[in-house]
């Protein structure tokens, strides 16, 4: 069984090709998104479901592993606290001039 349903790959490919996503990706990264990977994953998923093709299974698993390692590559922006700050109950200094 594939890691995700094949419809997920199809939806991701359609979303990636959408105008809104393309505009946002271009604004954030300065280049258009590469959507071919989702299409290839969808085709590999269909081949895996239909004929249990070993090559399609390996390609899809490799792509999923690459996607997970790419997601884990970036550290979180904020450091999580273990407890609240000691002065959390005091009012904010909004009225003070800087």
What pLDDT digit, counting tens, does each position of 74-91 carry? 777 888 889 998 888 888
Total structural domains within the chain: 1
Domain membership of residue 78 (yes or no) is no
In a domain, 86, yes or no: no
* DSSP track, 37-49: HHHHHHHHHHHHH
- pLDDT value of residue 80: 86
The verdict on residue 81 lying in a domain is: no
pTM check: above 0.85: no
**Range of the structural domain that residue 55 is part of:** 6-67
CA-to-CA distance for 48 and 67, rounded, in angstroms?
19
């Amino acid at each position: 069984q594939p890691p995700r349903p094949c419809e997920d790959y199809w939806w991701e490919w359609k979303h990636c090709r959408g105008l809104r996503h393309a505009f946002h990706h271009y604004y954030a990264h300065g280049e258009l998104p590469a959507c071919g990977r989702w299409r290839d994953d969808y085709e590999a998923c269909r081949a895996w479901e239909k004929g249990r093709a070993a090559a399609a299974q390996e390609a899809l698993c490799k792509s999923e592993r690459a996607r997970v390692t790419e997601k884990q590559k970036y550290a979180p922006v904020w450091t999580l606290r273990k407890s609240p700050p000691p002065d959390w109950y005091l009012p904010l200094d909004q009225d003070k001039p800087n």
